Amino acid sequence: MKDSLYLAWRYLRHHRAKTLLLVLSLSVFLGLPLVMRAMSRATQQSLLARAEATPLLLGKKGSSLDLVVEALYFQLKGAEPITEADVDAIHATGLALGIPIRTGLMARGFPLVGTSLDYFPFRRLRIAEGRGLAMIGDCILGAEAAKTLELGPGDTLLTSPSTLFDLAGVYPLKLQVVGVLEPTYGPDDKAVFVDVKTAWVAEGLGHGHQDLALAGPDVVLKRNEGTVTANAKLVQYNEITESNVDSFHFHGDPSGYPVSAAIVVPHDEKAGVLLRGRFVDAPTRQLVRPSQVVDSLNKQIFRFERVLQIVVWTVGLATAVMFVLVMVLSWRLRAEELRTMTRLGCSRWKAAQIMGSEIALMVGASVLIAGLFGIVMAQYGETWLQNLILRGS
């Protein structure tokens, strides 16, 4: 047996090109269904795990998938916002904890997520380096964001302008990086977390500027009793520091400020049922169970996977037929070689063993390549496919 394997190995080495072609064809045939299955299961599990960990989600009435995608995965889908008053109303019911989520802005390619302090224990996020949020202007980086941007506590990070060519728009806000989160292998790793008030400042809803009472005449346009009107020379701060934090303020009632969604964490099951009942006929709001939304998304993925499987098996069958054909033709071409082996005293059984060993080695190599490819895809393909699905939906 050992001799047969040796001869088969030498033969395959001698005909490298043919062997490589056959091994690769077989690898694709064996690997594709394996990879597809692994990736699909991993993605479904990952999507479902985050959704199941989020009991309820409050948002504006509309596409529930958009709402879930925006609030859970921080993908910019532009769902209509609700207001901070909605989050306060959830608290006021005494039935649940409301955690605001404000998305929409980016910071050097990573989503800026405005939320409350309650988000971190809720998602079981731990600080790896630095400290948690304390003041407006502070930000905490997800593990991957910190690694990619090469930033850590003490560094600063600029928010990206919402519109590049809008000169009159909101200027970027310089955020103080105060902490980095431990990796969670989920969307939190790629996010930049700030207090929801910081997100509003970054959006231009709140601002800080030099003291008008102390401003010179070149800055003041009009000074009436109790009212000072400044001109465009008024210095507005683009960074929140300990010395100017006191000057930051919001015009109007912050309870009317936008929040993309609110994670609703009922105190118990009964509270959850009561809350859901209250939103059944709500005209402008929806309270969804993310697990149901993601489950329906998963069913779509599963259907798509089945169609793909049929295609893959068809291609696989063609590959198998081609493999058999190549082997049969190869044996015909090697008829003279086999006759020589018989003349040298090799039995027919031994010749069959050598041929069988060749097939076994090629199939073995193909399984190994397909297995390794499967591991790589299971490791990194999940995020890739998740992004592909979420961005494409």
Partner 1 sequence: MWKGARAGTVVMVTALIPIVLGCSKEADPDRAPGSQETDSPTIYTVNYPLRYFAERMAPAGVRVVFPVSEGMDPAFWKPSAGAVRAYQAASLILLNGAGYARWTRYSTLPQARMVVTADGCRDGYLRTEQSVRHQHGPEGAHAHAELAFTTWLDLRLAACQASRIRDALIERVPNAKDSISAGFESLERDLLDLDERLQIVGNALGDQPLLGSHPVYPYLANAYGLSIQSLHLEPDQELSDDDWKTIDAILKQDRAKWMLWEAPPLEATEAGLLERGVTPIVFDPAGQTPSKGDFLSVMQANADRLECAAGVKLCP
CA atoms of 262 and 265, how far apart (whole Å): 9
How do 227-230 and 220-224 pair as beta strands? antiparallel
Looking from the CA of 258 toward its CB, the CA atoms found within 13 Å total 18
Selected binder of partner 1 within 15, 18, 126, 339 (CB under 8 A): 126
Closer of 64 and 98 to partner 1 (Cβ) = 98
Only one of the segments 60-68, 163-171, 311-319, 360-368 lies at the binding site for partner 1 (rule: CB under 8 A); that segment is: 360-368
Matching residue, tokens 């499987």: 309
> Counting contacts by CB under 8 A, is residue 70 touching partner 1?
no
Give the separation between CA 151 and CA 125, rounded to whole angstroms.
18
Question: Which 253-282 positions form the footprint of partner 1 (CB under 8 A)?
Answer: none
Tokens of 339: 């006759």
Task: Show contacts with partner 1 in window 29-48 (CB under 8 A).
Answer: 34, 38, 41-42, 45
Interacting residue with partner 1 among 15, 18, 52, 124 (CB under 8 A): 124
- For residue 9, state whether it binds partner 1 (rule: CB under 8 A): yes
Pick the stretch among 57-65, 175-183, 288-296, 325-333 that binds partner 1 (CB under 8 A): 175-183
For partner 1, the binding residues in 180-219 under the rule CB under 8 A are 182-186, 195, 197, 211, 213-214
CB 287 within 8 A of CB 276: yes
Question: In the block, which residue shows the tokens 């969604």?
Answer: 261
Stretch in the footprint of partner 1 (CB under 8 A) among 64-72, 237-245, 269-277, 302-310: 237-245
Pair of tokens at residue 277: 């009942």
Q: Are 145 and 188 in contact (CB under 8 A)?
A: no
Contacting residue, 134, 235, 324, 352, with partner 1 by CB under 8 A: 134
**Least Å distance between CB 386 and partner 1?**
13
Q: Which of 364, 384, 388, 391 binds partner 1 (CB under 8 A)?
A: 364
CA distance 203 to 159: 10
H/E stretch holding 338 reads: helix 335-343
179 is a contact residue toward partner 1 (CB under 8 A): yes
Whole-number Å distance between alpha carbons of 86 and 262:
8
- Beta-sheet pairing, 174-181 with 138-141: parallel
Span interacting with partner 1, options 157-165, 290-298, 317-325, 361-369, rule CB under 8 A: 361-369
Q: Report the alpha-carbon distance of residue 387 to residue 74 in Å, rounded.
A: 11
Looking at 15, 18, 131, 270, which residue binds partner 1 (CB under 8 A)?
131
Phi, psi of 228 (to 5 degrees): -120, 125
Residues that bind partner 1 (CB under 8 A): 2, 5-6, 9, 34, 38, 41-42, 45, 49, 91, 97-98, 116-118, 120-127, 131-136, 138, 178-179, 182-186, 195, 197, 211, 213-214, 226, 240, 242, 245-246, 248-249, 361, 364-365, 367-368, 371-372, 374-375, 378-379
